Amino acid sequence: MTDKTDRLEHFDRALKTLSAHFARHGKQGTKATPTRTLECAFETDSDFSDAMAASLMLKAETSPNLKAGLDGWKVFEQQVWLDAAKRHEGRTLAEIRQSL
């Protein structure tokens, strides 16, 4: 990404896609094949990855399907995800997004 606008647009697309992926396929847990979008969302820099993880976990608070999907992948038991959430603790989705 060359500028903040491109980075935010990429983040928004990835967050939407990953939310749908986890909500739809997450109940399969680790048996589900990771999508390329999932891989791309977490192979970028750590700020982006942490913001993505924290955003997904925050969105799960209001989306039972997404929560079930994240539970299926045991996200809430993985230290790396918990650390990302802690890093953005107290922020809204918009604030997490703007931190990029």
Cα–Cα distances in angstroms (integers) from residue 10 to residues 5, 26, 62, 64, in the given order: 9, 22, 23, 25
For the chain, state the CA radius of gyration: 13
Q: What is the pLDDT of residues 70-84, one digit of tens each?
A: 888 888 998 988 999
Q: In the prediction, which pLDDT does 55 show? A: 95
Q: What is the pLDDT of residues 25-62, one digit of tens each?
A: 766 655 555 556 566 666 667 888 899 999 999 999 99
Please say whether the dihedral angle defined by the alpha carbons of residues 60, 21, 31 and 85, taken in this order, is positive or negative: negative
The ranges assigned to domains in the chain are: 4-98
